[in-house]
Amino acid sequence: HPQNACLVTGCAGFVGSHLTDALLSLGFPVVGVDIIPRAQAANLSDAFGNPAFRYVEHDITRHGVLKRCHEEYPRIGHVFHLAAVVMVAFSMEHPELTMATNYTATQALHAESREAGAQAFVFAGSAAEYGDDPRLPLREEYADPQTVHNSPYGRSKYLSSRLMQESGYGCSLRFFNIFGPRQDPSSPYSGVVSKFITQATAGDELAIFGDGGQTRDFIYVSDVVRSYLIAGGVIPNPATGLTAPLSGIYNVGTGSSITIRSLAEKAIATTGTGSSIRHAAPRAGDIYHSQADISLFTQTTAFAPQITFEEGLRRTIAWA
Ligand code: UD2
């Protein structure tokens, strides 16, 4: 297998860079595609030290991504497509750019990968595909053509996941709330774990939007990476012992959730800085509860998250 290269789009991002590192350490040649200039790709500092890594600065809305990557490695067997407009609020102001990036470019890369005979195609889906569905825990079939999506982001991810389902080629992993080292805390829409850790470490106030009773299903990034490796057929599926790519749509989370209030308390207790908590207005468009039903992925792959929330929090704080 080491001759069969992997493609990771969005390789400079939070999850993409961890996935890139994992593939390289398994001995795979990796072509990474990202829109940001090489000099700004700080998350890839380990990857850049590995001669099996090739970086391609490319906007995925431009045609022929795979063709360009074939100039680096002619045999790409596993495509991991993570590049996207990731900020939900930004997607509200830029619906066309979001659709072009998250859907049209996915359609093109999916078709290109299939035609080129890549054995695996794994897409980064999202819990946002369920909109505000109150039926918890969320099951894959709940997202359907009648689902009202809260954002172009959610809509674009849903339409893309359907491409994998309808064609029978490739799979979509619908991730719930991912956290861990390298998640950027600096934007107003950054993930709550990275924001709370930054605030607690600095001894600043933590701002809970609303009453803090809202819940999320948080999954640590190394568990997410393992789900990609199994789904992409690069490590054996523990349920079957076979190294074979998946097709279809699967939720990936832990299957349990915690409140934002308890997250804030844990962040303060773990950093030990004695930050206080303040309540701010609820964030517009927020959903209240979110929790994955992961039984389909668990049955298919015997997947179980290995990192507890507390352990993930400690590791993220140690990195921050
Ligand atoms: C996550 C994803 C988003 C999309 C969505 C689908 C992240 C970073 N975002 O959004 O891309 O897939 O799920 O449902 O994973 N909060 C505070 N204080 C803060 C920041 C956040 O109280 O300083 C609250 C916020 O109001 C929300 C919760 O924490 O209730 C989680 O917020 P988030 O932005 O981390 O993630 P979420 O679930 O809105």
Question: ipTM, 2 decimals?
Answer: 0.97
* Strand partners of residue 250: 173
pLDDT in tens, 201-222: 999 999 999 999 999 999 999 9
Question: Taking CB atoms and a 6 Å cutoff, what residues make up the pocket around ligand 1?
Answer: 86, 88, 126-128, 177-178, 191-192, 195, 207-209, 214, 216, 260, 283, 286-287, 290
Given the structure tokens 């999916």, which residue do they identify? 110
The answer to whether the peptide bond before residue 137 is cis (omega within 30 degrees of 0) is yes
Best residue among 123, 155, 283, 290 to mutate for probing ligand 1's pocket (most ligand atoms within 8 Å of CB) is 283
Q: Tell me which residues of the chain have a pLDDT lower than 50.
A: 1-2
Q: Which atom of ligand 1 lies at the shortest distance from residue 193's CA?
A: 35
Quote the CA–CA distance of 22 and 20 in Å, as a whole number: 5
Listed in order, strand segments (DSSP E) in the chain are 5-9, 30-34, 53-57, 76-81, 120-126, 171-175, 177-179, 206-209, 215-216, 218-220, 248-252, 258-259, 277-280
CA of 247 to the centre of ligand 1 (A): 28
314 in Cβ contact with 243 (< 8 Å): no
pLDDT score of 3: 62
CA of 228 to the centre of ligand 1 (A): 22
pLDDT score of 287: 86
- Ligand 1 atom 14: the closest Cα is on which residue? 128
Domains (range + CATH), the chain: 5-178+220-254+292-306 (3.40.50.720)
CA of 54 to the centre of ligand 1 (A): 33
pLDDT in tens, 248-302: 999 999 999 999 999 999 999 999 999 999 999 998 878 899 999 999 999 999 9
pLDDT score of 188: 78
Q: Are strands 120-126 and 218-220 parallel, antiparallel or unpaired?
A: unpaired
210 in Cβ contact with 261 (< 8 Å): no
pLDDT score of 285: 76
